[in-house]
Structure 1
């Protein structure tokens, strides 16, 4: 007999869906009770263990230490009363009974009064906070085996015990300090007060931590809506400070990205207008007669081809700048090998690379295509503006430093920083975006790049990348 595959799947999938449904039904009431804010949930996480701990402490004190001490104290008082009662019942002579009563007052601090022919009006025990009342009643019943009444409420300093005898009632005044281990409310107040104090301290601390997170959330929301809140001050826990610092760096990169793209769009029309104007003029001045020979048109065609090549180079630079890092994934790269590849590519383009020196180092995680573009831009600038090129790579525990030196004319100190602005470093056919692209890529890797005087007389580009 054949079995439908769907019949096999139903028993396996149906219980799973039912379990999921029951789980959702159980989660909904819990979500309604739980606070929605991070502060409320954090305080709840602190409050529940605190209450459990204090409850365990109270139970341990009340259920073990206090109970044991109470049984010992009440047992001792009950034994003294039972012994005194036994002596009183062994004699009927008044002088001897008076001596027993006086000895009980002296030795046991028990006030005894015998009321002949009296009867108990009440039998039982009044209740107070703590186990003392129950322990005393149980110890007296076990030791005396007579009807009795215990009054804890009439006198705050004395426990009044009435015992029914055959010929009357024996009144016993026992000092309460011999039965009471201390005010129970004091320990309860200490437990509740310490829990409340710790909770308030934790609430103040957590409020300060959550305040930093709220400030970060407000700044992120404002920045996402197009407003510039400015850098936020890192405060709070270490993780919150790191998040705030990361937000400030992200905000700075995005603002720089937007400013550079805006400047690029403003410069595109200006830079492209010159070759387009030349093309338009050349086309307007070309002879309209079909009798013109190809040799006569060759200079004009050559000029138009050069203009088109220049426009193509500009557009490629703009597209490279607009692409930025792209979606390339980071991967481990051996930097000396990457420098060798960049030097070989530069040599094929006509650059004179004298040396490539690299210290022994481990692999560094980066986007190799983007770093190749940085090195290509720097080497191309050195080829156009400088002369001979030297490449070097240094490494320590935290950073990899790449040096690109040339022996050209260099750049004055006050102009080096502005070379990283879009359209500022152009010249000799460049678009002025090479260094801008390089800084964008390096800073996106968590590093930096700057220009300085080369020891070989020209310009040095220093790149620093984190391991």
Structure 2
């Protein structure tokens, strides 16, 4: 109600704002799944059509038939009243009662010195009570009392005459279209059968789309697609599935070619670097050559790191990793270097990832913290959909303007930190590459401990 009050208070606000708000609210209320939306598309028009048909039927057919039947019964009662008043003798009254029973289907009795019962409360919804009362008022114009309630097959009508009460019992079917429920039952039953058939048909059409979505999701997480996946369903779904298979094969082929090419280049460069090292060793001790020898060692370390990463990416399959065992190992490494590491795990301790690659991801982030900080806190949380691992350290951190650049290969924060001999500039690049190959990402932020916060978030 607050949004409508604000619209009334601000007459200058364009009416399109209210329409946009209503459309957003409606989108939030509607289901988001294709299966539910498809059912809604089928069920809603059917319900609207049935509602319109039922309303028209009730308004025109049911009410019209009931009105005609009630009018006919009322005319018969009026005729009986006229005969009773024309021939008031008891013998004539008995004759009228007999004729009414056999010819008109009315059970009639005359009570002398009788009184009408107290008016009964009118039902909330009763076509017969309303129409029959109107007909008696229009045609007979005498005080009356009717009883149309209950499940009885008869309708009781009492009419006050001069010094007597005329009591009539008429069959309910004479004054009321009692077979209307058959139409409603057929309409509702047929609709239910059609909805069941539509539901089964939609399930068969939605299943190939869900299979395609699961295959794409698995491929996005770096997992193998389901073995039973094959394009099925409608022609459009088959084309989408075939396009996905071809795209996946092209991506895998491109990744294999890239990995094989870079691995070959790295192998050739390692051979050349080995010759450099041999020549430097034969050259003897020379202070001018020591710096060159250190550069060769750094290049050798970079190539070894990349080759190990490329080899692991190409060969490893999905498996199970114990987070507690991994964190215990890191905790021991920190203790050996005189530094502190604490961790907390919420949820399952075993996760489904590529074990060696994920261990390398966590190890790279932990080694960065061990190199530049004295304290590291790790918080791992696994929910139904996501695995989140947060690293908080008390080191110097990384400036905001460099947080995207540090994920680039061979990028070094030369001005911000002292270079470590073992650093290659590939640690964070490899970490993000591993996280993205699992369908997730690595993000950097400020840590509550005063240093850097690194967050791993991957789907499970």
Q: Could you tell me which residue of structure 1 aligns to residue 219 of structure 2?
A: 223
2:133 to 105, 122, 137: 137
Q: Could you tell me which residue of structure 1 aligns to residue 58 of structure 2?
A: 62
Q: Could you tell me which residue of structure 1 aligns to residue 283 of structure 2?
A: none
Q: Deviation per CA, 1:163-218: give whole Å up to 9, x if none.
A: 10112101111112212322544444444444344334333333333332222122
Q: Does 1:153 align with 2:145?
A: no
Aligned partner of residue 120 in structure 1, secondary structure: coil
Q: Could you tell me which residue of structure 2 aligns to residue 233 of structure 1?
A: 230
Number of matched residues?
263
Q: Could you tell me which residue of structure 2 aligns to residue 95 of structure 1?
A: 91
Aligned partner of residue 174 in structure 1, secondary structure: strand
Distance 1:180 1:19 in 2: 50
Q: Could you tell me which residue of structure 2 aligns to residue 252 of structure 1?
A: 249
Please identify, of 73-82 and 35-44, the stretch whose mean Cα deviation from structure 2 is larger.
35-44
Aligned partner of residue 169 in structure 2, secondary structure: strand
Aligned CA distance change for structure 1 residues 87 and 167 (closer, same or farther; 3 Å): same
Give the superposition deviation at 1:133. 2.2
Aligned CA distance change for structure 1 residues 225 and 163 (closer, same or farther; 3 Å): same
* Higher RCO (Cα < 8 Å, 6 or more apart): 2
The answer (yes or no) to whether the contact 2:65–2:176 under 8 Å persists in 1 is: no
Aligned CA distance change for structure 1 residues 94 and 17 (closer, same or farther; 3 Å): closer
Q: Could you tell me which residue of structure 1 aligns to residue 197 of structure 2?
A: 201
Aligned CA distance change for structure 1 residues 225 and 191 (closer, same or farther; 3 Å): same
Q: Does 1:83 align with 2:79?
A: yes
Aligned CA distance change for structure 1 residues 71 and 28 (closer, same or farther; 3 Å): same
1:73 to 69, 73, 78: 69
Aligned CA distance change for structure 1 residues 251 and 155 (closer, same or farther; 3 Å): closer
List gaps (5 residues or longer) in structure 1: 1-14, 281-467
Aligned CA distance change for structure 1 residues 60 and 223 (closer, same or farther; 3 Å): same
Note the aligned Cα RMSD (angstroms): 3.3
The answer (yes or no) to whether the contact 2:145–2:159 under 8 Å persists in 1 is: yes
Q: Does 1:31 align with 2:27?
A: yes
Give the superposition deviation at 1:78. 0.6
Aligned partner of residue 214 in structure 2, secondary structure: helix
Distance 1:70 1:48 in 2: 31
The answer (yes or no) to whether the contact 1:125–1:133 under 8 Å persists in 2 is: no
Give the superposition deviation at 1:236. 2.7
State TM-score, norm by structure 2: 0.51
Distance 1:216 1:16 in 2: 49
Distance 2:16 2:160 in 1: 69
The answer (yes or no) to whether the contact 2:156–2:167 under 8 Å persists in 1 is: yes
Distance 2:93 2:246 in 1: 96
Q: Could you tell me which residue of structure 1 aligns to residue 423 of structure 2?
A: none
State TM-score, norm by structure 1: 0.50
Q: Could you tell me which residue of structure 1 aligns to residue 107 of structure 2?
A: 111
Please identify, of 238-247 and 28-37, the stretch whose mean Cα deviation from structure 2 is larger.
28-37
The answer (yes or no) to whether the contact 2:147–2:155 under 8 Å persists in 1 is: yes
Distance 1:23 1:73 in 2: 49
Q: Could you tell me which residue of structure 1 aligns to residue 391 of structure 2?
A: none
Distance 1:33 1:184 in 2: 36
Distance 1:16 1:209 in 2: 49
